Structure 1
């Protein structure tokens, strides 16, 4: 493959740009709620992830790789659009009946790659809404992934714990019997349908909070559903099912450049490992599904090898947000944790403004093209749009996405200078080694998930190089840095954080 060096648009860094017709395939492997400390390459010792570790050992392991948000829908929105999720007031955790969050006119990562000759596909979790708000699940479901740039899509609409519990292939429910139509409601149950709250005797998994509506496969869900029996998924087979679809996509499109967004559902709740993985981690279902996901990744990589295209495939591996243990079900995630720490050295977790909410495993791998190593460059999933555009010779930076191709390919040490991070519509600013968390009302900790959210009535300022665990708030003793960070925050957000008068 012919590669030419080219100056990065704004930083003067060298980056590799495709200059001939043999474009590299691009695969984004995206996990759900996988923490910074859940991977062996990031310090996990109690949990074995050999295939994730192999990607890290053969590629670039980023120590400062970020999702844009501490929750799923906003991060996925930013990944595909290159836009900060806080710019869209609807970019929050969506119910299964939400309309499509991404405007069909919006420029997206798959649209950009289609323009450069790629076939585009998504397999796995979507959670970005479907239709216009009044979906008839028994007819064509539009708009959806296919209307925002994907040539092929095989998805679950929202999350494994939300209805509808069916797969959608392109714009139709897979396996639907037209004589058994699907009905979905997030406010009111359908007459005569059992629920987790009222029918505990029917459950194979006990709910802890929030997950006590319709029962499917013995598991209580969020939301109410009736019908669609032949189309309902088997939870324990979901990982295998998505793997097979991802492998099928690769085999079908191996003779043309392709982009595959392979969005695994693990380790989001409900954690339902296949029986062959039950007990594999010693940590209960959460650990078991991480082991299962690792195996799926290994099998997927093996498929790329068998089809002779691994050397021509750029792989980006990451997670949509940080970890959570008890997220709605009793599944021994807390009780069997042992010495494992999903956060690694970081503070917080899913839903949190602290680092463990958004700093996640982030690996780039391209066999024979990327020299293995570790990078401290600050990179964000949102930057894939502009960076992969640059890989194809397009120097334009789209939206909030930055061209970090040099850093992603291991040719440059420098990443982002600044990055606004989001958690439940609250934002924090990272700039250099510093992070600013403005004052926010609300609880400091979500007791039901045992995670520090980080809301405090005063400014928080941390030096992440010296204090990655964010234990020492330097706001009072470093007023100059605080004022500088507030000014930068105000410039990016277009508004001053609350209580700014206290430090003027």
Structure 2
């Protein structure tokens, strides 16, 4: 079955509250953070790092306490945000390797294409990590990188093609590597190109941050990466400069399109390992590089919001701030994030984190702001980043192609703070495609642990065995500490059946 079909499984693209589109198309900006936990932000109880820009956004908008991303890792969450489809329905949609072809085929309806057809100018600035180029060959780093963002509805793109811990350390503008010298071609591979290649395995003395197992490839800027590359010297970025690029590029793009209805997706990557922030932020927090990265992320958010303020577009622009998954402390690079944590808890009251399906992996900060349209306050409605596509489409009266955005639900009344809104009643959460799921229905949460990787991550944290199935009541036990399956076997069996039906509908 294709990426979208006529089959519907959880009230796809529907709403119980029909709404009249605004008289004038509103602007939309989505800022998706990377590896930011529920408890990392001041307005969500974070104590380790000041986050004034994010907190200010919450003070003039709605702060959601039961908002989710759809997966415990970045690629599947970003896939679902764009397509409105659960990533587990599409094989190979886990964390994309450096030379991955495009995971979203050209022409697939997405949040960007649907809004573009409705009259929006669309752009993406920041981390991509959804593959580039046609299958099976993948990206032609020295030629035209297509398909990519422009083939699924974006008019403009300046992207980090994978992540900053993977090769190649370059940026891509629209279809081409930025600043690439054709006389110094870029090669990217999964194997060491020559026996004397300068990589982290053979030259650990060249590293400024120790890596244990995953990042033993080519060294760039003193950091080992996943994968290998050669050439492309004029195109290589300096990690310290990336946040400034996201901010300056967003500023330029917003000024250029201030008179258009626009949709801009900004995807900073500051918290993703390796956490190498600009010198302005190095050593500015007590939490070390991870804390410094939170401060840098907050600055980036502030710069985007300030640009909208300067353009007098704040009241005409819906801003959504969210995260692609929950937190991780040591992610191979040894930056002392665990040692320097102090009393700061990135998860807040929740269990788990990046790579699994507990609440700490998928319940994230989620703020929606549009002064004069959205009330100020707190919302307990359940919403998910996968719902943004159908919600925005319904709000502005955009047409959704038959069968597209199939797992995305119109929760726009909840995002707008309508008192009669209900939000979601059910949600599936996935890991990185390894096979574990969380299924929330009302206040009940079923965790199905089929994944050895999830078992291992949880064992490292809790030092105990994890059952294949567990049932939690989130209202009384938000930390998922007490498995109540034995006392609620009928409910558990029904939820197991429903989860399997949703999975099988793929």
TM-score clears 0.5: yes
Tell me the alpha carbon deviations over residues 202-230 of structure 1, each in whole angstroms, 9 at most, x when there is no partner: 11221133111101011110000000111
Which residue number corresponds to residue 411 of structure 2?
404
Aligned to 1:48: 50
Contact 2:132 2:138 in 1 (8 A): no
Cα shift readout 1:132-190 (whole Å, capped 9, x = no counterpart)? 23422111111111111100000011000000100000011111111111000013334
Give, in whole Å, the separation in 2 of the partners of 1:199 and 1:331: 19
Q: Are positions 1:387 and 2:395 aligned together?
A: no
RMSD between aligned alpha carbons?
A: 2.1
1:317 aligns with 2:321: yes
Call closer, same or farther: CA 1:241–1:443 in 2, change over 3 Å: closer
In structure 2, relative to structure 1, the CA distance for the partners of 1:234 and 1:462 (3 Å cut) is same
Change (3 A) 1:116 1:221: same
In the other structure, the counterpart of 1:461 is: 471
Post-superposition offset of 1:105: 2.6
Aligned with 2:103: secondary structure?
coil
Query: Could you tell me which residue of structure 2 aligns to residue 329 of structure 1?
Result: 333
Say whether the 8 Å CA contact 1:446–1:453 is kept in structure 2: no
Q: Is the 8 A contact 2:87 2:93 kept in 1?
A: yes
Q: TM-score, normalized by length of structure 2?
A: 0.92
User: Where does structure 2 lack aligned partners over 5 or more consecutive residues?
Assistant: 1-11
Task: Give me the whole-angstrom Cα distance separating, in 1, the residues matched to 2:398 and 2:244.
Answer: 37
Q: 1:63 aligns with which of 44, 62, 65?
A: 65
In 2, Cα distance between equivalents of 1:105 and 1:205: 41
Sort the Cα spacing of 1:363 and 1:189 in 2 relative to 1 into closer, same or farther, 3 A: same
| Whole-angstrom CA distance in 2 between matches of 1:16 and 1:206 | 55
Displacement, 1:427? 1.7
Aligned residue for 2:495? 485
Answer yes or no: is 1:136 the counterpart of 2:136. Answer: no
Corresponding residue for 2:365?
361
CA distance in 2, matches of 1:59, 1:247: 22
Distance 1:448 1:387, change over 3 A: closer
Offset of residue 279 of structure 1:
1.5
| CA–CA separation in structure 1 for the residues paired with 2:503 and 2:139 | 34
Post-superposition Cα deviations, 1:267-313, rounded to whole Å, max 9, x if no partner, equal: 00110111111121111010001101101111111111111111111
Give the drift of 1:458. 3.7
Offset at 1:393? 1.8
Change beyond 3 A, Cα 1:151–1:455: farther
Q: For 1:76 and 1:210, locate their aligned partners in 2 and report how far apart those are by CA, in whole Å.
A: 22
Alignment match, 1:227: 231
Q: How does 1:19-58 map to 2 (within 5 A)?
A: 20=23, 22-58=24-60
**TM-score under structure 1 normalisation?**
0.93
Deviation at 1:450, TM superposition (A): 4.3
1:373 aligns with 2:377: yes
1:93 equivalent in alignment to 2:95: yes
Q: Which is further off, 299-308 or 118-127?
A: 299-308
Cα offset for 1:241?
A: 1.1
Deviations along 1:227-249, one digit per CA (max 9) or x if unpaired, are 01110001111100111111111
Q: Secondary structure at the match of 2:484?
A: coil
Greater relative contact order, per chain length (Cα 8 Å cut-off, separation 6+): 2
* 2: CA distance, partners of 1:184 / 1:392: 42
Match of 1:265 in 2: 269
> In structure 2, the residue corresponding to 1:367 is in which secondary structure?
coil
- Go from structure 1 to structure 2 and tell me whether the alpha carbon gap of 1:104 and 1:207 turns closer, same or farther (over 3 Å shift): same
CA shift digits 1:107-152 (9 cap, x unpaired)? 1000000011000000000000000234221111111111111000
Give the corresponding residue for 1:421.
429
Cα distance, 1:483–1:63 mapped onto 2, change above 3 Å: same
Matched positions, count:
487
Q: State how far apart, in whole Å, the 1-side matches of 2:356 and 2:323 are.
A: 15
CA contact (8 A) 1:16 1:405 kept: no
Is the Cα contact below 8 Å between 2:13 and 2:409 reproduced in 1? Answer: no
- Report the counterpart of residue 181 of structure 1 in structure 2: 185
Separation of aligned partners in 2, 1:134 and 1:14: 42
- Report the CA distance shift for 1:351/1:455 in structure 2 as closer, same or farther (over 3 A): farther
Distance of 2:71 and 2:131 partners within structure 1: 17
**Matching residue of 1:5:** none
Distance 1:311 1:364 in 2: 12
Partner of 2:342: 338
- Per the TM alignment, residue 478 of structure 1 is displaced from its structure 2 partner at its CA by 1.0
Q: Deviations over 1:65-123 (max 9, x none)?
A: 11110000000000000001110011100111000000113110000000110000000
Deviation at 1:453, TM superposition (A): 11
Q: Is the 8 A contact 1:444 1:452 kept in 2?
A: no
Alignment counterpart, residue 432 of structure 1, candidates 422, 433, 442: 442
